[in-house]
Structure 1
Amino acid sequence: MSGRYPYRTGMQHSHVVPERGFGLDCNVSTIAQRLNRLGYSTHLVGKWHLGFCNKKYLPTQRGFDTFFGHYLGAGDYYTHKSVGFPPSALKTPLGERGQKVEALDLHRDTSNSSSTVTSDTGTYASYLYRREAIRIVKSHNASSGPLYLYLALQAPHSPLQAPASYQRMYDGTVNARRRVYSAMVSAMDDTVGEVVQAFKKRGLWKNTLMVFTTDNGGRVDLGGNNWPLRGCKSTVWEGGTRGVAFVHGQMLNKRGYTYNGLMHAVDWYPTLLSAAGQPETDKAIDGVDMWQALRNNLSSRRTEFVYNIDKTDGVFAIRLGKWKYIRGGSGGLYDYWYKAGEDDKKYPLYLREVSSRHQHESGPWLFDIEADPLEKNNLYEELPNQVKTMEARLAEHMEGYVGDLFSQHPPDPRSNPARHGGVWSPGWC
């Protein structure tokens, strides 16, 4: 959304939780703001999760003309309620949580108005967001300018919920978590397919660039699977960070190929601006313009990136050429190679067994990630000169470090939905 690494915006330690009053720094421009200034009609459907406690953090104040979805990271797919832990007193130790609170988190916003949606209780979230995305496509006036639709579907994400019709597609899957997870993915696939059809029926598809991408690896304890890669979501192992994506559009000069060049999530920001005809000139961003590389299957302009730098957790991970360096922590609790579990009763025990066996590995680690993408051969002791090179580059990255906002903002009782009509709402920070 910003073209910046999380550690340079204070968002590196933890995501925005409903009881802590912070969000993405408003001095940081978003891709929506940039495209809006280029004349694009900008719409966000689905998940925001970059702050909501003050109206200045809302998507319609960050470049989006309209927003329909949830402010937080996850919630019930049918009741559209999210969980938080607001404390009862303002003077509370850092990190202390209050009693569990479940409140509505479904909103329809424009730059001039904001409202909570109560009429869609009982409707599966993927269906809601499909309906809204199609409505936007149908109503778009192409003669007034181009369209930017950011469809951030809630699925697949905990809690594991899916319509029965999709679950029946996977009756042969013994592991209940895997069965529901698979059903959620199929419901998501159908949603994307129907939105694409809406673009085609509206006559917009031939001039549309579609990017489909993920933000992290799957959670192995909740039905996801990253085999044969190591680790999972919330770790800096490849299983937690190596994502897949595809790009589609007739403006691509070369099509039908697999691109294996190095690319990072922050690259989407300058890449999309370049595709829109306005290459980014801001030296402050970390993203690299990959438009011509993707368009023509050229070599990547990127040679390195940061997985994460988090002083609070003490985890540091960077990539430099073919080398990956991890220092501090254990790289995450789930640091093993997990096969998909079929036996629902034994699988959680298997996860705990292999995780407890390996979580005490403290590193540091050095991997030749091109030759060893499964991260099985730690070269830290064998290549001290390469370690020195990685440490020196890490020190350079650290010069731009911003303290994490999560730790700077203790849980706040003013966030309690009881003060805001039973809804997670802005206006308290």
Structure 2
Amino acid sequence: MMFDHCTLLFLFSSAATVQAEQSASGGSGGSGLGGSGSGSGAETPIHILFILVDDLGWFDVGWNGAEIKTPVLDQLAREGVTLTQSYVPSVCTPTRGAIMSGRYPYHIGLQRGGIRPTRPFGLPLNITTIAQRLQTAGYSTHAIGKWHLGFCKWDYTPCERGFDTFFGFYGGGQDHYTHRKKYHSKVFHGARVSGLDFRRNRRLVTNINGTYSMEAFAAEAIRLISEHDKHTPMYMYLSLQAVHGPLQAPKRFVDMYKEIKNKNRHMKAAMVTAMDEAIGNITAALEKAEMWNDTLIVFTTDNGGPVNSGSSNWPLRGSKATLWEGGHRGAAFVHGKMLNKTGYVYNGMIHTVDWYPTLLSLAGVNVDDTDLDGMNVWDAISNNKSSPRQSFVYNLLLTDETLSGGIRFNNWKLLVNPRSRRSEWYNPANASFPELFRKPLSDTLLFDLDADPTEHHNLASTKTDVLAMMMSRLNEAMESYVPDLIKQNPETAKSNPANFGDAWSPGWC
């Protein structure tokens, strides 16, 4: 019988199961205090901890002024470099595709949205992922948490895309305690089907029902760190389920926010603080393993916060899944002793696609791909220099020959046919968020983000010369448009968990 690498690691691992009590020990820890860094040129390799949080809003963290308690993250951001113009796609799968490929979602067919568990496709197999590139440089690579880049066949799953180990789930969301995904679709004749979605490498994990997912993922990260040879470079892709719905958190965190009257905001705050504590436990493990001084942490949300489930992007406009700044401008920072300058706020423009060449360059991997959209921004971030990035594409999406999209160039932002739902400003100081209504909008909007970062003033009718220049840039971007894969891959009932022993599993495309 043939086994893939991940399966072999599972069979010979001394810790094939996660003990929930492991993650409950310790406090917020991991302050990042003390020690002198080895620097990027030292003999000790640079370890990379890439923390991707799900559905975290701009105003869901303490360092942006939120009422939510995030002491660990606040300190890491304060000691590192806080990124005020770190742009991300506005929904789950596109962001993950951009991280893995260094390409805009509209260049790899992932621009329409998240991959549903009934769609027979994934991150295109001709993509060489950042994990695969790091493996060639001698890195030990680990993926923990949410995948959401396709699973209809094994070739799409993490162990085949460059990760030595995987502990998490394939889909876009699930119950944080039962780890089951419920999905309603017409292909199931209107029924809501349910299945387990949790794996260690390729093998189903069936013994953690009742363990909060954030605790399980933190325990796995801590175990891997404690067992790791610090002289071997490590890349850990910690793609958290937090703080994505359903809104669930351990009671001790829920009890911390009784003063928040809005139920969704109350639960979202509890989830954020639970996540903050878990990250503190992970950073404490890095210190204990003597890896802290040589670890670069990249922390970012995958998209703006969904205002319909308690998040806030205040004072930015809009929500997750919109073209507004609230959908794309992400809470983010970097932390590490190898940064030349620390303790400051970086206002330069960067995009998710930039992490691919930036991290590979730090790892000593030659990046000469001509089809990358990403730029190496390390020198800019590390030395507080001007960003090499002056423009980017928010997204481009064709639906029945109608284009919806946005583009940025310096201080200018152009939107064409933005969705109008959740297009307002949502301040959590209100007793309840405003009604999420659909409001008529102009089909062409132009903003000067330097003067108007909250997108109140459409200048399309007065800055006609700028509008013409931006439209030209948008049309140029459309020349490299790749048709979206969702439209090409209709849903199928073949993925029904009933066909795979009550689990969402590969093997149906």
TM tier, smaller: over 0.9
Determine the C-alpha separation between the residues in 1 that align with 2:341 and 2:418. 43
Contact 1:212 1:246 in 2 (8 A): yes
CA gap of 1:57–1:290, structure 2 versus 1, over 3 A, is same
Determine the C-alpha separation between the residues in 1 that align with 2:179 and 2:114. 19
Report Cα offsets for 1:259-312 as digits up to 9, x if no partner: 100111111111111111224210101001001111111110001000000112
Determine the C-alpha separation between the residues in 2 that align with 1:220 and 1:202. 39
Say which SS state the counterpart of residue 350 (structure 2) adopts.
coil
Tell me the residue number matched to 2:233: 146
Determine the C-alpha separation between the residues in 2 that align with 1:86 and 1:169. 37
Structure 1 unaligned segments of length 5 or more: list them.
Answer: 90-96
Tell me the residue number matched to 1:314: 403
- Counterpart residue type for residue 274 of structure 2: A
Contact 2:412 2:446 in 1 (8 A): yes
Tell me the residue number matched to 2:442: 362
Tell me the residue number matched to 2:422: 334
Structure 2 unaligned segments of length 5 or more: list them.
Answer: 1-99
Determine the C-alpha separation between the residues in 2 that align with 1:6 and 1:274. 22
Tell me the residue number matched to 2:207: 119
Q: 1:142: Cα distance to partner? A: 2.6
Say which SS state the counterpart of residue 209 (structure 1) adopts.
strand
Q: 1:85: Cα distance to partner? A: 3.5
Residue of structure 2 aligned with 1:16, choices 104, 108, 115: 115
Q: 1:342: Cα distance to partner? A: 4.8
Tell me the residue number matched to 1:238: 325
Residue of structure 2 aligned with 1:4, choices 103, 112, 116: 103
**TM-score, reference length from structure 2:** 0.78
Determine the C-alpha separation between the residues in 2 that align with 1:388 and 1:66. 49
Contact 2:323 2:418 in 1 (8 A): no
Q: 1:399: Cα distance to partner? A: 1.3
Pair 1:129 & 2:220 matched: no
Say which SS state the counterpart of residue 294 (structure 1) adopts.
helix
Determine the C-alpha separation between the residues in 2 that align with 1:279 and 1:48. 26
Say which SS state the counterpart of residue 194 (structure 1) adopts.
helix
Pair 1:103 & 2:195 matched: yes
Report Cα offsets for 1:25-75 as digits up to 9, x if no partner: 010111111111110000000011101001110011110001000111111
Tell me the residue number matched to 1:351: 435
Per mean C-alpha deviation after superposition, the further-off stretch among 119-128 and 396-405 is: 396-405
Say which SS state the counterpart of residue 311 (structure 1) adopts.
strand
Determine the C-alpha separation between the residues in 2 that align with 1:370 and 1:83. 43
**TM-score, reference length from structure 1:** 0.93
- Counterpart residue type for residue 459 of structure 2: L
Correspondence 1:6-405 to 2 at 5 A: 6-85=105-184, 87-88=186-187, 98-109=190-201, 114-143=202-231, 145-312=232-399, 314-330=403-419, 332-340=420-428, 342-343=430-431, 347=432, 350-352=434-436, 355-356=437-438, 358=439, 360-405=440-485
Of structures 1 and 2, the one with the larger relative CO (CA 8 A, separation 6+) is 2
Determine the C-alpha separation between the residues in 1 that align with 2:313 and 2:219. 31
Tell me the residue number matched to 1:94: none
Say which SS state the counterpart of residue 324 (structure 1) adopts.
strand
Contact 2:268 2:311 in 1 (8 A): yes
Determine the C-alpha separation between the residues in 1 that align with 2:222 and 2:267. 26
Determine the C-alpha separation between the residues in 1 that align with 2:463 and 2:345. 32
Give the root-mean-square deviation of aligned CA atoms.
1.4
Contact 1:86 1:416 in 2 (8 A): no
Fraction of identical pairs, as percent: 49
